[in-house]
């Protein structure tokens, strides 16, 4: 009781108590402020996009103005390019992250690679699109789904590299030492012990990379462009949800605007679902 009474009259204690309450209030206000805009965005998307969700949205292609239609060709194009981009970027990212965590303890190459990877991770996606346009699209002379997949794969790589590197560094060295003591080669130690221990974290990084590329518009504008019709040809311009949303949202036609809201709702729900799945895997 004497200590409590002394603390109440201590000027240092009182100042720290006031600062603590002030910072808690500011933090809570920032949290409420951020959640307010997040819920407003989600509510707006659901309010304007949910009524446009229908069976025809997934069975019909994008229509001309004044007619009904769906987003089948855009959904298929997005799935194909995102899938191929993930298949290209994931092995490269995992192997690069493995080198950084398991072989790059000495020398200058690993720190330099981490720095460049961080730069690539924060680079605007439109820069990636312009790069693929310059080295691929301009050389072959036409837009294509392959160019879009290459642009998306470059966006996948830094996310997977960072996650793989961090997750493998969290694996206890005692597991590596025990494996080495049994005479196991290092490559088998990595594949049988380290990868299994860091599996959930690596999968989480891959899912987060997929969530990132699902809504990218800028790189696809310079690579895949779009296609009004259904196309499975990866060597030709291909429709995709982000570009269709961009085009339809800016159009003066109400039916196209409704399809843009529906497409934005689809992407939002997809990204939200992937993030929830990734967090659940990370917890396990």
Q: Which tens digit of pLDDT belongs to each residue from 43-87?
A: 998 899 888 888 888 999 998 888 888 999 999 999 999 999 999
SS3 111: helix
Weakest-pLDDT range from 113-122, 253-262, 270-279: 270-279
What is the residue extent of each domain of the chain?
76-281
Return the CATH superfamily for domain 76-281: MetI-like (1.10.3720.10)
Look at residue 259 in the predicted model and tell me its pLDDT. 92
Please give the pLDDT value at position 272.
84
Query: What pLDDT, on a 0 to 100 scale, did the predictor assign at position 1?
Result: 53
Compute the average pLDDT of residues 231-235: 93
Q: How far apart are CA 33 and CA 10, in angstroms?
A: 35
């Amino acid at each position: 009781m004497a200590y409590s009474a002394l603390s109440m009259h201590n000027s240092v204690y009182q100042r720290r108590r006031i600062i603590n309450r002030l910072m808690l209030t500011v933090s809570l206000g920032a949290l409420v402020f951020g959640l307010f805009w997040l819920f407003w965005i989600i509510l707006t998307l659901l309010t304007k996009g949910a009524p446009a969700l229908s069976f025809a949205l997934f069975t019909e292609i994008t229509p001309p103005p004044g007619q009904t239609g769906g987003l089948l060709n855009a959904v298929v194009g997005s799935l194909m390019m995102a899938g191929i981009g993930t298949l290209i970027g994931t092995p490269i990212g995992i192997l690069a992250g493995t080198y950084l965590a398991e072989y790059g303890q000495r020398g200058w190459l690993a720190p330099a690679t981490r720095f460049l990877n961080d730069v690539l991770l924060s680079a605007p996606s439109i820069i990636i699109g312009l790069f693929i346009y310059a080295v691929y699209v301009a050389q072959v002379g036409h837009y294509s789904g392959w160019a879009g997949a290459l642009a998306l794969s470059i966006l996948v790589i830094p996310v997977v590299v960072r996650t793989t590197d961090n997750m493998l560094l969290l694996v206890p060295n005692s597991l590596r030492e025990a494996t080495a003591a049994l005479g196991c080669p290092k490559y088998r130690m990595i594949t049988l012990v380290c990868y299994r221990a860091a599996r959930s974290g690596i999968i989480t990084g891959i899912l987060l990379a997929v969530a990132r590329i699902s809504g990218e518009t800028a790189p696809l504008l310079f690579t895949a462009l779009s296609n009004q019709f259904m196309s499975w040809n990866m060597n030709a311009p291909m429709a995709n949800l982000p570009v269709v949303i961009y085009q339809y949202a800016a159009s003066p036609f109400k039916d196209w605007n409704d399809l843009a809201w529906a497409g934005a709702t689809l992407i939002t729900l997809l990204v939200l679902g992937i993030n929830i799945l990734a967090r659940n895997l990370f917890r396990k």
